[in-house]
Amino acid sequence: MKNNKDFDKWNNLKKNIDITKDFLKSFPKEGEVWISFLGKNIGVEQNGGNKNFSRPVLVVKRFNNQMFWVVPLSTKQKKLDFYYNFKDKDEQNISVILAQLKLMSIKRFKRDVFKINKKDFIEIKYRLKNFFN
């Protein structure tokens, strides 16, 4: 079985991200969407795209200046209980993949994109909390 995933390329980029001394101009805040280096993952885990394995993520919780809970975003909307579908400020279809909540280092954040509206963010947090019940 042929594996088309370029784990070696991601591994080399991941090493460079880990040793970087570049600092962001601002820290990610809850409710913000950031382009982040998600990488090349296994199975059904959401991958980053492009040559730098990046993807937008929503910051759900900031623990400190180094550690955040995030969920990846997609433009593919699905009618599943672990997807939250909404439209962004430009009326583009967006989905938050709730089941893929992830702890992420500040080093994976690349740039901020937009802030979601308060109503959607409250609903996303509510749905995430229900997964723990």
DSSP assigned state of 101:
-
Q: Where are the domains of the chain?
A: 7-131
- Predicted pLDDT of residue 75: 86
| Architecture of the domain made up of 7-131 | Roll (2.30)
Strands 67-74, 102-105: pairing kind? antiparallel
Average pLDDT value for the chain: 85
- The average pLDDT across 107-127 equals 94
List pLDDT tens digits, range 77-92.
889 889 999 998 889 9
Say how many C-beta atoms besides its own lie within 10 A of residue 94's C-beta.
Answer: 21
Write the CA distances from 67 to 3, 48, 60, 61, 105, integer angstroms.
Answer: 32, 19, 11, 9, 5
pLDDT of 93 strictly over 60: yes
List pLDDT tens digits, range 10-19.
666 667 767 7
